[in-house]
């Protein structure tokens, strides 16, 4: 390997710095824990996070009652304990954003916070937890079994139906995200919604009754017409857009002729290791790039560029 592919110290993978002990056994105590020493809460309004600025830094934690004084709160989630201090997530109606801003608060979407590094990394994991949970409540207020309005319990981690007694729990959607490899080339695609020049790994939801390996092979074949063999797990990343678990993999390509499914992708092509290295560092001659380091796709591609992957 040449120095060209030495990309320096690897960046952290966003949303994976776990500082919260979820303390599930204490969820029934959530109301009392709000009053405990050191208790603090994050405020969320739909896709956005409520912050205040202290000197030159942003602060995401508030007293729960302080947040409730800014605007009406819909749901409260007990996230767990951070060094024994209770942490919560409280939701505002997205329509309250202007009201919050009028009180000197900053309301910024979580993706921008992560990309711009506005908060310390340890805040991203609980914010991802809170955002996903609050979205689940916003979308699952009624029993899927009988249609009756459900009641929140267990510190926000369960909804109970008073009619048919069905208990409802949050779910995470598994998504495979993979880089197919053919010797010194890798396969990347782009969707129409991507920024100009951005290329990334292929990805897709794992279907019921399907293994991770089978999902990697199926999605790569469906989206790009490439048949894959050996699949190697790389890492996972909670992805709160809206509430997915990204399962990163590398796969060995058995075929090389690309057939793009244009309902899924705008284009797909093979890139050399040198191309991918230049894309990661934003110095590609054609202006091509990969997703930023907050996304697991960046890390999947980087691991291959740095020759840390063996798919057989």
Percent of the chain whose predicted confidence (pLDDT) is above 90: 94
Thinking of the domain 1-139, which architecture would CATH place it in? Alpha-Beta Complex (3.90)
Residue 29 has pLDDT above 70, yes or no: yes
* pLDDT at residue number 8: 82
Question: Mean pLDDT across the stretch 28-55?
Answer: 96
* pLDDT at residue number 1: 38
Task: State yes or no: cis peptide before 67, omega within 30 of 0.
Answer: no
Q: Where are the domains of the chain?
A: 1-139, 141-170, 172-305
* pLDDT at residue number 151: 97
Topology agreement, domain 1-139 and domain 172-305: yes
pTM for the whole thing? 0.93
CATH topology classification for 172-305: Nucleoside Triphosphate Pyrophosphohydrolase (3.90.79)
The pair of structure tokens assigned to 155 is 């510190």
Percent of the chain whose predicted confidence (pLDDT) is above 70: 99
Beta carbons within 8 Å of 217's beta carbon, 6+ residues apart: 227, 228, 231, 251
* pLDDT at residue number 4: 58
pLDDT, tens digit (0-9, with 9 covering 90-100), for 97-136: 999 999 999 999 999 999 999 999 999 999 999 999 999 9
The pair of structure tokens assigned to 241 is 């857009």
Bridge partners of residue 228, in order along the sequence: 253
* pLDDT at residue number 2: 40
User: CB–CB of 284/275 below 8 Å?
Assistant: yes
Question: Mean pLDDT across the stretch 235-249?
Answer: 96
User: CB–CB of 163/142 below 8 Å?
Assistant: no
Distance CA 235, CA 25 (A): 28
Question: Mean pLDDT across the stretch 279-303?
Answer: 96
């Amino acid at each position: 390997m040449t120095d060209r592919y030495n990309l320096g110290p690897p960046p952290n993978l966003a949303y994976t710095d776990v500082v919260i002990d979820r303390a599930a056994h204490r969820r029934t105590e959530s109301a009392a824990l709000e009053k405990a020493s050191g208790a603090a809460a994050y405020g969320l309004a739909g896709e956005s996070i409520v912050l205040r600025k202290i000197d030159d830094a942003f602060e995401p934690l508030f007293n729960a009652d302080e947040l409730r004084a800014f605007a009406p709160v819909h749901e409260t989630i007990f996230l767990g304990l951070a060094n024994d201090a209770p942490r919560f997530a409280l939701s505002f109606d997205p329509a309250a954003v202007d009201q919050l801003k009028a009180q000197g608060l900053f309301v910024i979407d979580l993706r921008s916070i992560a990309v711009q590094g506005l908060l310390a990394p340890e805040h991203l994991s609980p914010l991802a937890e809170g955002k996903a949970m609050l979205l689940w409540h916003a979308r699952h207020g009624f029993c899927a079994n009988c249609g009756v309005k459900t009641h929140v319990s267990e510190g926000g981690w369960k909804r109970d139906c008073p009619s048919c007694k069905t208990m409802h729990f949050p779910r995470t959607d598994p998504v495979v995200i993979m880089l197919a490899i053919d010797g010194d080339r890798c396969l990347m695609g782009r969707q129409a919604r991507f920024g100009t020049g951005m290329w990334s790994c292929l990805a897709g939801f794992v279907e019921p009754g399907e293994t991770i390996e089978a999902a990697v092979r199926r999605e790569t074949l469906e989206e790009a017409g490439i048949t894959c063999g050996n699949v190697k797990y790389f890492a996972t990343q909670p992805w709160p857009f809206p509430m997915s678990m990204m399962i990163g993999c590398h796969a060995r390509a058995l075929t090389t002729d690309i057939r793009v499914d244009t309902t899924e992708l705008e284009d797909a092509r093979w890139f050399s290791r040198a191309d991918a290295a230049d894309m990661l560092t934003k110095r590609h001659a054609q202006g091509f790039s990969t997703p930023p380091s907050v996304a697991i796709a960046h890390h999947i591609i980087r691991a291959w560029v740095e020759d840390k992957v063996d798919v057989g």
